[in-house]
Structure formats: structure tokens, C-alpha cells
């Protein structure tokens, strides 16, 4: 492991995180691709932030997670017409978020938001999330149930076409 990645992992494992005057805590609203994320700040305003290259291969950012951003050039970027107004400087993990929620630095708008835990016990199997009747305990292959993909929104109006397929098969 090279020195940069080792330092990044060590910085991520630190429990305490202090905000500088040009940094703030924001929540990830959506992933835009091309290393850009849509964020919501403490005022409730949405904007775009850039994920630096040092986070790309080693850390994942999910919708609903919290990050620390550097917004020193926000006004300058808005004046020039750029949509990207800030840069992610810290990815906050579950333990760091729990400690920050108790501090006065935590934004009031995020007081009720629950941090997204990184452990496997927090992920809900798809059968339970979708509300399907079939139980996941009856699997005969011994594999655990599939986990829900929390990065994708569920499409509205998706219906099962099983009845139309069976009718067309019986007509043939």
C-alpha cells in the first residue's frame, strides 16, 4: 500500500474531526457521476461538490451519508457560472458522525437524520424491503439473501407482467 492511501486510511480511522472556518458538514442528496455529488448544506440549499481523486479508489460515498466540504471558493465559482461550488475534504464515518451529533458544530437541520452505518447488519434484505410474502429463510442454497441497492431510487409504476406473459404463452 502506498503512503498516500495509508495516510488516508489512518485519517479516516481517527475518531475526532474538528471543522476549520472554511469547512462545513453536508449531507449527500444524490450521486451525479463523473466524481460529482449533489449535497445539501445546513441552510437546506442544494449544490454540487467534487470528489477528489484521493477518495476514488479507497472510499465510497452513498446517498444519505455525511461529508465535510471545503467551500472557500464557493462565491467565486458561483460568479463564474460553475455548478460545482465545493470540494469534499473528509468522508465522515458512523462513529465520527455519532460524536459530531453531540457537539455544537453539528448543523441543526441534520439533528433528526440517522447516520448510515457501514457494517453488514444494517443492510436490509431485498425480500424484506420490498414487502414480498416469500420468506428468505427457505433458501436451499445456503447463501444469504441479496442486499438492497441503496444508491438507486425505486422506479415508480413498475408492475409485474407475469399475467400477460402467461396469457400470451397459452394462446400460442
Instruction: In whole angstroms, give the CA distance from residue 7 to residue 61.
Output: 19
**Which residue segments constitute the domains of the chain, with CATH numbers given?**
3-122 (2.40.50.140), 126-171 (no CATH)
In this prediction, residue 165 carries a pLDDT of 53
pTM of the model: 0.62
Average pLDDT in the 37-65 region? 89
Provide the β-strand partners of residue 28: 39
pLDDT score of 144 more than 50: yes
Stronger pLDDT, 54 or 157, i.e. the higher one? 54
In this prediction, residue 99 carries a pLDDT of 85
94: which 3 cell numbers? 458512523
In this prediction, residue 127 carries a pLDDT of 36
- Give the mean pLDDT of the chain: 76
Amino acid at each position: 500500500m502506498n503512503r498516500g492511501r495509508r495516510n488516508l486510511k489512518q485519517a479516516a480511522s481517527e475518531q475526532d474531526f474538528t471543522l476549520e472556518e472554511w469547512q462545513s458538514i453536508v449531507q449527500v442528496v444524490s450521486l451525479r457521476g463523473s466524481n460529482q455529488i449533489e449535497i445539501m448544506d445546513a441552510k437546506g440549499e442544494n449544490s454540487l461538490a467534487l470528489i477528489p481523486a484521493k477518495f476514488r479508489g479507497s472510499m465510497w460515498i452513498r446517498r444519505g451519508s455525511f461529508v465535510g466540504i471545503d467551500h472557500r471558493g464557493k462565491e467565486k465559482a458561483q460568479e463564474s457560472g460553475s455548478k460545482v461550488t465545493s470540494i469534499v475534504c473528509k468522508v465522515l464515518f458512523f462513529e465520527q458522525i455519532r460524536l459530531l451529533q453531540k457537539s455544537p458544530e453539528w448543523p441543526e437541520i441534520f439533528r433528526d437524520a440517522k447516520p448510515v452505518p457501514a457494517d453488514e447488519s444494517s443492510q436490509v434484505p431485498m425480500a424484506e424491503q420490498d414487502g414480498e410474502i416469500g420468506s428468505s429463510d427457505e433458501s436451499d442454497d445456503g447463501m444469504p439473501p441479496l442486499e438492497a441497492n441503496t444508491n438507486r431510487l425505486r422506479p415508480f409504476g413498475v408492475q409485474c407482467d407475469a399475467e400477460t406473459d402467461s396469457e400470451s404463452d397459452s394462446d400460442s
